[in-house]
Chains A and B, each alone.
Chain A
Amino acid sequence: MRKHHHIDAEAAALRETFEIDRRDFLKLAGGGIVLFFTIGELPAIAQQRQARALPTDFNAFLRITENGRIACYVGKIEMGQGIVTSLAQMLADELDTALESIDMVMGDTDLCPWDRGTFGSLSTRSFSPALRAAGAEARLVLLELASEHLSVPAANLAVENGIVFEKDHPQHRVSYGELAHGRSIERHATGKAVVKKFSEFRIMNTSHLRRDGREKVTGKTVYAADMRLPGMLYAKILRPPSHASKLVDVDIAEAKLVKDVVIIHEGTLVAALHRLPDMAEYALSKIKARYETPPTAFDDNTVFDHLLKAAAGGKIVAQQGDINKGKAESAAIVTSTFLDGYKAHAAMEPHAALAVIENGKATVWASTQNPFTCKEEIAHELGFSSENVRVITPYVGGGFGGKTRNLQAAEAARLAQLSGKPVQVAYTRKEEFFFDAFRPAAVVTITSGIDALGKMSAWEYNVYFAGDRGAAHFYTIPNAVTTAFDASVNGAEGPHPFATGAWRAPGNNTNTFARESQIDIMASKAGVDPIEFRLQNMTDKKMRDVLTLAAEKFGWVAAKAPSKRGIGVACGIDAGTPVAAIAEVEVDASTGTVRVKRVVCVQDMGLVVNPEGATIQMEGCITMGLGYALSEHVRFKGGEIMEENFDTYDIPRFSWLPTIETAFVTDNEAPPQGGGEPAIILMGAVIANAVYDAVGARVFQLPITPARVKEALEKNVK
């Protein structure tokens, strides 16, 4: 109740201060020609708290300044996915200016309009149409101004490289910078400008190297842990042994003796602060604490039973025909259960934040994928109103969905408040594992049938805890039902002993592993080559095209599995992008070790804005995906996390690298779709299927560890 009250009061305050905010905001943005536009959703009332310092009738804007530079302000962040390049490419092309003249200003909650967060391959997908329209519109405004300035009708003008000139007298010209000189013009996108046709592209759909490359190879790029302020202290915080532990007592006497240390002890928050981070760590090691930890309920081996028991009512995600009829009419039926353990995000950059509080306003530099949510969390922690909190997001060293809970930022802010000094909190690798919101463990059960002709006839799919992304199949199965149990993958509450959350293509990795393994099982039942079987049971043109092209690039020769060649296939769809992969593996039957030798992957993501960037994302997905497929899973006992560092949590290394070949089915008139995640969803399935093809034994649980391969081989012998 109180919470709602609070929101209503804030909404009223927001309306009252709206005009003032707007002026402040324009002052912050500076002069020049400013074009406001809307991308995707605007903040709803509940979210206006997060956006209250800003006007709410747009959520992105461009500013053209008198030095001819064009700044684009968006609340997104750059974490390696390359939008600092691809978004700028779109603008430069629509504006007929050089890529170099575009500045992306991102993830600063005082400068940038509200944004929900950067995840889910959505940046390019949801931004592209509006961003391009804004660029086109800005170009029209500039043309109008140039027409006045040059006294030439706009129709007789052309633009190149940010210079507007008369077509018949190219020397009669004016630059964007000159047009912006001494002006303060505010426009709102009307949506009337026409974006460029594919044939007119100069910068989009051409490959560009990363714009942040030079600063990244010279060590100049600043991440949150690299921020420095005069007088700042580094904080190391006392952590419990388990998420279920309660602090009983704590002794800070010895830690207090460390030279120059500041010890904060406020309720359960106990921290050592020092001007040197390693000395803070040393002081923390001198704090003695006693915890009470309830007995362990279950661990990573017994979690699946626990999950099945905890599963709440299912939600039907997709349905065709009548599943009971389908089962009755099937000539052969197979039921399988697929398991997947918890996975860590394990970005190379651990969470970090630096907070300073001055004159009642907190400024926090944080590694976050959702700066506006982060701002709200900090305001709550400090008891500040949200306009008194500013979050600035420097470059983020990898996110993958893991930088959306901003505990470290709230902790830094709170410690800055308590100590009166700027405070940095930078997680150790152990803290990073401990506080990670893991990709949830999940169970999928599938009962499927083929008819007498070997065509798919029934499909009953139940997914527990992976969520419904990628759960629905895309085959032509007359009688099918897909049900998701507890489709929510977010939140610390629920059956998991720790927080779980989105992990690069959330849920879809698990769902695709289960579905594509089962499809392979049915292909074997039917005695048909796995690609042939998929094509026989699929009408979706885009999916057929990516699969066919992948087979062609690979040099696929049809054979039913197991063919002993170690070749597997999988397809899937994520973020609007159909994707297919074929992998070749080598299995050492004596040790159970799997080595992936070659992966060919094809996707159709509509218009590819930066082919180089999109290729890199696919390569990254394939390489990262080897980890969840072959080695990664989080071991735990109740709320105690056994993974503390990379000695036990094994992520892909150079020696694992297969030959990777990627290609696109190009559809240049279609809007761009997500490209940062689709390929990763296939890696579990394509390797499981290739292992089956190699040795005739199937692994039903990710990761496909040597022990599980050997176990599957032994079962086969029996």
Chain B
Amino acid sequence: MDETVQFTLNGKAVSLHVDNDRMLLWVLRTDLELTGTKYGCGEGLCGSCTVLIDGEAVRSCQTPMKSVGGKHVTTIEGLAKGEVLHPVQQAFMAHDALQCGYCTPGMIMTAAGFLSHHPHPSRGEITMGMENNLCRCGAHKRIIEAVATAAKEMEGGF
């Protein structure tokens, strides 16, 4: 059903007239031209499309627009504060925790959501927190290290 959906996207108010059964992933990538959020499976199985909704990591390919109204949506494009990268982004760079980079936005958004609940995660907790995000290049080792580093950096919050 067509509806006007209002929400906050990367800190800015957005009002869209859309079919509210459409998934957030396609609205982000097409209507809003924010292509940092990736399609990998379309069925909630890979995590490439992860964004934050009210601070929680959510799969945008499984999120209909009708559930987005009034919420705060953050995508990979809105994670940094201006030129200052989020500690998770910083740590991914410092650890070279990526190869082709296609899974990277989803990994970073998942990690950011995870760390807000687990400020002092163990290695095991990081593993479980990231478990449902897939990476084909095999960057897993460095991703875990990057998330651990980001956790330390974020002691003071971001």
Chain B residues lying within 8 Å of A218, measured Cβ to Cβ, are: 36, 76-77, 79-80, 85, 89
What's the nearest-Cβ distance from chain A to residue B82, in Å?
Answer: 11
Q: Please tell me if the beta carbons of A398 and B136 are within 8 angstroms of each other in the complex.
A: yes
User: For chain A residues 224-240, which have a beta carbon within 8 Å of chain B?
Assistant: 225-226, 228, 234
Q: Please tell me if the beta carbons of B99 and A81 are within 8 angstroms of each other in the complex.
A: yes
What's the nearest-Cβ distance from chain A to residue B86, in Å?
Answer: 9
User: For chain B residues 87-143, which have a beta carbon within 8 Å of chain A?
Assistant: 89, 92-94, 96, 98-105, 108, 126-128, 130-143
Report if A209-B139 is in contact (Cβ < 8 Å); known contacts: A80-B101, A397-B100, A646-B45: no
The residue of chain A having its C-beta at the shortest distance from the C-beta of B130 within the complex is A654
Residue A361 at the B interface, CB < 8 A? no
A619 to B145, CA, bound (A): 13
Q: Please tell me if the beta carbons of A620 and B99 are within 8 angstroms of each other in the complex.
A: yes
Interface string of A140-156 (1 = CB under 8 A from B): 00000000000000000
How many chain B residues touch A (Cβ–Cβ < 8 Å)?
A: 59
A242 to B98, CA, bound (A): 35
Secondary structure class of chain B's binding surface, majority of residues: loop
What's the nearest-Cβ distance from chain A to residue B141, in Å?
Answer: 5
Chain B residues lying within 8 Å of A612, measured Cβ to Cβ, are: 96
Chain B residues lying within 8 Å of A348, measured Cβ to Cβ, are: 38, 40, 46, 48, 100, 102-103, 134-137
User: For chain A residues 217-272, which have a beta carbon within 8 Å of chain B?
Assistant: 217-223, 225-226, 228, 234
A646 to B38, CA, bound (A): 16
Residue A16 at the B interface, CB < 8 A? no
Chain B residues lying within 8 Å of A81, measured Cβ to Cβ, are: 99
Residue B14 at the A interface, CB < 8 A? no
The residue of chain B having its C-beta at the shortest distance from the C-beta of A679 within the complex is B138
The residue of chain B having its C-beta at the shortest distance from the C-beta of A220 within the complex is B36
What's the nearest-Cβ distance from chain A to residue B73, in Å?
Answer: 14
Chain A residues lying within 8 Å of B33, measured Cβ to Cβ, are: 228
Q: Please tell me if the beta carbons of A217 and B102 are within 8 angstroms of each other in the complex.
A: no
Q: Which of A222, A278, A619, A651 contacts B35 (CB 8 A)?
A: A222
Interface string of A399-411 (1 = CB under 8 A from B): 0100000000000
What's the nearest-Cβ distance from chain A to residue B56, in Å?
Answer: 19
A621 to B141, CA, bound (A): 12
Q: Please tell me if the beta carbons of B102 and A349 are within 8 angstroms of each other in the complex.
A: yes
Q: Please tell me if the beta carbons of B105 and A219 are within 8 angstroms of each other in the complex.
A: yes
Chain B residues lying within 8 Å of A275, measured Cβ to Cβ, are: 30
A157 to B35, CA, bound (A): 49
Report if A654-B127 is in contact (Cβ < 8 Å); known contacts: A217-B89, A217-B108: yes
What's the nearest-Cβ distance from chain B to residue A211, in Å?
Answer: 11
The residue of chain B having its C-beta at the shortest distance from the C-beta of A618 within the complex is B138
A654 to B133, CA, bound (A): 8
Report if A217-B98 is in contact (Cβ < 8 Å); known contacts: A624-B136, A645-B41, A657-B144: yes
Chain B residues lying within 8 Å of A82, measured Cβ to Cβ, are: 99
Residue A655 at the B interface, CB < 8 A? yes
Q: Please tell me if the beta carbons of A217 and B137 are within 8 angstroms of each other in the complex.
A: no
Residue A350 at the B interface, CB < 8 A? yes
Residue A214 at the B interface, CB < 8 A? yes
Q: Which of A222, A228, A278 contacts B23 (CB 8 A)?
A: A278
The residue of chain B having its C-beta at the shortest distance from the C-beta of A395 within the complex is B101
Q: Please tell me if the beta carbons of B101 and A397 are within 8 angstroms of each other in the complex.
A: yes
Chain B residues lying within 8 Å of A347, measured Cβ to Cβ, are: 100, 102, 136
Q: Please tell me if the beta carbons of A657 and B140 are within 8 angstroms of each other in the complex.
A: yes
Interface string of A335-347 (1 = CB under 8 A from B): 0000000000011
Chain B residues lying within 8 Å of A651, measured Cβ to Cβ, are: 134, 136
The residue of chain A having its C-beta at the shortest distance from the C-beta of B99 within the complex is A80
Residue A2 at the B interface, CB < 8 A? no
Interface string of A610-638 (1 = CB under 8 A from B): 00110010011111100000000000000
Report if A210-B140 is in contact (Cβ < 8 Å); known contacts: A216-B101, A278-B23: no
What's the nearest-Cβ distance from chain A to residue B3, in Å?
Answer: 15
Most chain A beta carbons < 10 A, residue from B41, B46, B100: B100
What's the nearest-Cβ distance from chain B to residue A407, in Å?
Answer: 18
Q: Please tell me if the beta carbons of A216 and B141 are within 8 angstroms of each other in the complex.
A: no
Q: Please tell me if the beta carbons of A216 and B104 are within 8 angstroms of each other in the complex.
A: yes
Interface string of B31-45 (1 = CB under 8 A from A): 101111111111101
User: For chain B residues 21-80, which have a beta carbon within 8 Å of chain A?
Assistant: 22-23, 26, 29-31, 33-43, 45-46, 48, 75-77, 79-80
Q: Please tell me if the beta carbons of B89 and A655 are within 8 angstroms of each other in the complex.
A: no
Chain B residues lying within 8 Å of A657, measured Cβ to Cβ, are: 127, 140-141, 144
A437 to B43, CA, bound (A): 23
Q: Please tell me if the beta carbons of B136 and A400 are within 8 angstroms of each other in the complex.
A: yes
What's the nearest-Cβ distance from chain B to residue A222, in Å?
Answer: 7
Chain A residues lying within 8 Å of B30, measured Cβ to Cβ, are: 234, 275-278
What's the nearest-Cβ distance from chain B to residue A674, in Å?
Answer: 16
Q: Please tell me if the beta carbons of B41 and A429 are within 8 angstroms of each other in the complex.
A: yes
A219 to B37, CA, bound (A): 7
The residue of chain A having its C-beta at the shortest distance from the C-beta of B91 within the complex is A217
Chain B residues lying within 8 Å of A276, measured Cβ to Cβ, are: 22, 26, 30-31
Q: Which of B42, B75, B77, B138 contacts A624 (CB 8 A)?
A: B138
Chain B residues lying within 8 Å of A653, measured Cβ to Cβ, are: 131-132, 134, 140
Q: Please tell me if the beta carbons of B141 and A623 are within 8 angstroms of each other in the complex.
A: yes
Report if A398-B40 is in contact (Cβ < 8 Å); known contacts: A80-B137, A657-B141: no
Q: Which of A213, A234, A395, A652 contacts B96 (CB 8 A)?
A: A213
What's the nearest-Cβ distance from chain B to residue A276, in Å?
Answer: 6
Chain A residues lying within 8 Å of B101, measured Cβ to Cβ, are: 80, 212, 216-217, 221, 395, 397
Chain A residues lying within 8 Å of B103, measured Cβ to Cβ, are: 348
Report if A620-B130 is in contact (Cβ < 8 Å); known contacts: A213-B93, A218-B77, A219-B77: no
The residue of chain A having its C-beta at the shortest distance from the C-beta of B77 within the complex is A219
The residue of chain A having its C-beta at the shortest distance from the C-beta of B75 within the complex is A219
Residue A426 at the B interface, CB < 8 A? yes
A212 to B100, CA, bound (A): 9
What's the nearest-Cβ distance from chain A to residue B148, in Å?
Answer: 13
Residue A428 at the B interface, CB < 8 A? yes
Q: Which of B42, B104, B128, B144 contacts A217 (CB 8 A)?
A: B104
The residue of chain A having its C-beta at the shortest distance from the C-beta of B46 within the complex is A646
Report if A645-B45 is in contact (Cβ < 8 Å); known contacts: A80-B137, A218-B77, A397-B101: yes
Residue A669 at the B interface, CB < 8 A? no
A269 to B41, CA, bound (A): 24
What's the nearest-Cβ distance from chain A to residue B74, in Å?
Answer: 11
Q: Please tell me if the beta carbons of A428 and B139 are within 8 angstroms of each other in the complex.
A: no
The residue of chain B having its C-beta at the shortest distance from the C-beta of A656 within the complex is B140
Q: Which of B19, B96, B127 contacts A655 (CB 8 A)?
A: B127
Extra 11 A-B pairs, beta carbons < 8 Å, given A217-B93, A218-B76, A654-B133: A217-B89, A220-B36, A221-B101, A223-B38, A276-B26, A347-B136, A348-B48, A348-B137, A397-B102, A653-B131, A655-B128
**Can you list 30 A-B contacts (CB < 8 A)?**
A80-B99, A80-B100, A80-B137, A210-B93, A213-B93, A213-B96, A216-B104, A217-B76, A217-B92, A217-B104, A219-B75, A220-B36, A226-B29, A228-B33, A276-B22, A277-B30, A347-B100, A348-B40, A348-B100, A348-B134, A348-B135, A348-B137, A397-B102, A398-B99, A612-B96, A619-B138, A620-B139, A647-B43, A651-B134, A655-B127
Give the 9 A-B residue pairs with the shortest CB-CB distance, closest first.
A219-B36, A80-B100, A397-B102, A623-B138, A219-B76, A216-B101, A80-B99, A620-B138, A226-B35
